Structure 1
């Protein structure tokens, strides 16, 4: 079954990775070893059909092997290392509304995971889930089928996910006011304002948490403190701009929020 999925990915992946005509589907295909890469992951599920990928966020690390899925539940700056190639994966960018609607439709009797669950978790895919993901990618072979079928198969994938070993984790997408949902909102806020001065006390008040509670829950989810999370975002963007070569180091330092160019250079 994994061979069918890997073959479908190969047929439609352009370069190392590509968006597709199927909404929220991204394909990755890497033949040769590459340098570790820094990326900002959004909430998504990575279904690995071949090769091995390690993602590291702060003090947390996850390894996804063939036949496994990596669920990212929070906006997360990560370092990616491909430990085994060729690497093939299909990525579903999670739509909050679609997931919430599925939770409402289901007989939701499975308890949610503890709020201390990390922002990335890995587990084996069930055969039913592999089959659904394969049919989802194979829609690219028949573009006329994408509009009527893509949403239906995506719903099936979410259903299989919620009924599988990682089911308790995405149940935290519930709109209930929990520490988990507050941490997700804090992470999104920092992503949108990472160039600005960060006040932990002010964010804690907005999140209705004490600074100590915010720090504890945030680090459990992301592997780093809010300040280190902000720093990771700044340095990722700075590295991207330095590679692009369209500005000086001093200009980039200012653009990503560093008041002191000396601090940035260090």
Structure 2
């Protein structure tokens, strides 16, 4: 059975649900009407533009254009990580650490997937590389953002205890061990929960899209398992790299706590 094509009117029917949300927000004085409208318009515009760009990218099949799109995606994802930090690192570290950790993890996992499991021809085929990268980046971004936010927030909150351990001769890793482990756990928790719920509680978007597109459910399941493993691997690498880098930045070679490397939050 060929995939069912959706018309503008079909999308309008689905969009009417937002009116219900808007009315509920107005009736309950939640003040979310404007945010819902802006978010919906932004989503539609972004997806339409992405669809046009991907159509041209798939037609051209250029490795340089594929790399360019991938770098743009990484750049925007890094900005999202930065926006989620309550206590940011000062200077270029605020953007560079999270973006670098995420880019390293996503690149390593994508190279592994495209050259071993998926094996498109050519290996950088944008029809495979860009959608897979989008799913991996989106989840890695969340994990890295949570890990960095937890690390900087707890380091500030537990300053007295950390400095006491350092004064007693503990290394930076010993003094910040509890904070570091909590950052790792927080960053990994979303993907752990997602893997536990996938299948029985939720059917992920990629699997659902493939099934609606006519792909055999068993093949769709295989792809979804692959994606979840890739996301878990990338999230783990990204969270580890970001948290390790964060510990180094919040201390120095003499094992002193350097909270002056954090930007003072605005009231």
For Structure 1 versus Structure 2, the TM-score category normalised by the shorter chain is under 0.3
Of Structure 1 and Structure 2, the greater strand share is in 1
TM-score, length-normalised on structure 1? Answer: 0.26
Larger relative contact order, structure 1 or 2 (CA cutoff 8 Å, min sep 6): 2
Greater radius of gyration (CA): 2
Of Structure 1 and Structure 2, the greater helix share is in 2
TM-score, length-normalised on structure 2? Answer: 0.26
